[in-house]
Amino acid sequence: MGHSRDGKKGKLQVNYGLLTNSSGCPVSVSVYSGNTADPTTLVPEVKKVKREFGLKEFVIVGDRGMIGQKQIDQLKDIEGLGWIAALKTVQIRKLVKDGAIQLGLFDERNLIEITHPDYPGERLVVCRNPLMADRRVRTRNSLIEATKKELVKVQAMVARGELMGQDAIGVRVGLVVNKYKVRKHFILNIQDASFSFELRQDHIAAEAALDGLYVIRTSLPKKRLDAPGAVRSYKLLSRVERAFRSFKTIDLKVRPIHHHLEDRVRSHIFLCMLAYYVEWHMLEAWRGRLFSDEDLQVKLTQDPAAPAERSAKALEKAHSQTLEDGSEVHSFRTILADLSTIVRNVCGRKNAPKGEPTFTITTTPSDKQQRALSLIEAITV
């Protein structure tokens, strides 16, 4: 039994960790019991990669929830290992308070590199994403406004005498402020026969100052990877996240797992990884036939701190819904649906006596289907 992130209480849990290369191609999967905390799996995975893959030097990239300070202290003892991670909000706030990050510097640029005594031997790359900042402002304001409306309703109930007693009012107010997760921005005054609230403008301003700000931390020297490269490498985690989405919900749907023996559960998840390995290669082979962006090099010329933008060719495909040869652009699902019309039928003579031999006829692929099959055959040779 373990914590269910989907709120499915009372069900057995299993944790699995997926390792991919920088292109998102799966390399390894490990399975843990459901009560295993994610960060505790990192160091065993790193040691496994070093031992089983025979790598003398490699770089691991993980998000701020996976690679924390405790894990970094352990990783420092592993020879030949470099890492890229990110600071948590509380750590960024401390850097701003200490003056290590001067927000005024971002008026003219979106990326700066700094060092700090709290992070010896590390490089810190501070980035600001203006679009992310605007989005967070809108999100925070909408959540605060929604919470205020609900609190005003509670005030009216207390004023009419429908809700009395400090405990009862507190329970109702707690439901409201926890609904939108903005409790920290409100001062609540709850009495037996009254209730009032006000906004903590200082808290809102302090949080707003960090909107769109994130900090990449890495052990790699500048001669091995520059600051923009560190940011781009961290953003490659989106490819691992895509693999997880395919595992859980989109294509493979690893759950529910109808096995109870440990080795069978491990085998089930291993087969899912192999299935995604096949899917990844299919996606790469069909990149030119899908909505996928074919010009991957264009990302190397974009501002690494800004949101990634699709190439002009990818945008044209999305707009016109057609390829350069005039054929229809597909998603991965629709191209599979199209290929699924190719079937092999077992046939026999009408009114043939029992036991008479049968023969098979396979549907002849259309030109479009044949092109898709040819691309797949090219990667299996």
DSSP calls for 5-37: TT--TTS--EEEEEEE-TTS-EEEEEEEETT--
CB 187 within 8 A of CB 198: yes
Question: Cβ contacts of residue 375 below 8 Å, gap of 6+?
Answer: 285, 286, 288, 289
CB 8 within 8 A of CB 43: no
Token readout for 80 is 């030949």
* Structural domain ending residue among the three candidates 153, 168, 200: 200
Is 48 a domain residue? Answer: no
179 backbone dihedrals φ, ψ, rounded to 5° = -65, -45
Summarize pLDDT for 97-131 with one digit per residue, the tens.
888 988 887 877 889 999 999 999 999 999 998 88
User: What pLDDT does 340 receive?
Assistant: 94
Which of the four pLDDT bands, split at 50, 70 and 90, describes residue 380?
low
User: What pLDDT does 269 receive?
Assistant: 95
Task: Tell me how many domains the chain contains.
Answer: 2
Summarize pLDDT for 35-72 with one digit per residue, the tens.
888 888 888 889 888 888 888 899 999 998 889 899 99
Average pLDDT estimate for 211-216: 92
Average pLDDT estimate for 294-317: 83
* Structural domain ending residue among the three candidates 131, 165, 200: 200
The amino acid at residue 7 is G
Asked if residue 353 has a cis previous peptide bond (ω within 30° of 0), the answer is no
The Cα 166–Cα 193 span in angstroms is 7
Strand, coil or helix: 82: strand
Summarize pLDDT for 225-280 with one digit per residue, the tens.
999 999 999 999 999 999 988 988 888 989 888 998 999 999 999 999 999 999 99
Is 73 a domain residue? Answer: no
Strand, coil or helix: 230: helix
The Cα 30–Cα 269 span in angstroms is 9
User: Long-range contacts of range 8-15, CB-CB < 8 Å, 24 or more positions apart?
Assistant: 14/257, 14/265, 14/269, 15/41
Is 56 a domain residue? Answer: no
* Structural domain ending residue among the three candidates 200, 218, 240: 200
CB 169 within 8 A of CB 163: yes
Token readout for 66 is 């996976």
Is 98 a domain residue? Answer: no
Tell me, yes or no, if the pTM score tops 0.85. no
The Cα 23–Cα 242 span in angstroms is 11
Half-sphere exposure of 332 (CA within 13 A, CB side): 15
User: What pLDDT does 381 receive?
Assistant: 54
Cβ neighbours, 10 Å, residue 289: 19
Flag the least confident range among 4-13, 211-220, 267-276.
4-13
Summarize pLDDT for 306-321 with one digit per residue, the tens.
888 888 888 999 999 9
Cβ neighbours, 10 Å, residue 108: 6
Token readout for 48 is 């496994």
Is 174 a domain residue? Answer: yes
The amino acid at residue 311 is S
Is 340 a domain residue? Answer: yes
Return the DSSP state at 8.
Answer: -
Q: Is 62 exposed, middle or buried (0-12, 13-18, 19+ CB in 10 A)?
A: buried
Domain encompassing residue 174: 145-200
Is 357 a domain residue? Answer: yes
Rama region for 332: left / alpha / beta (φ>0; ψ in -120 to 50; rest): alpha
Is 265 a domain residue? Answer: no
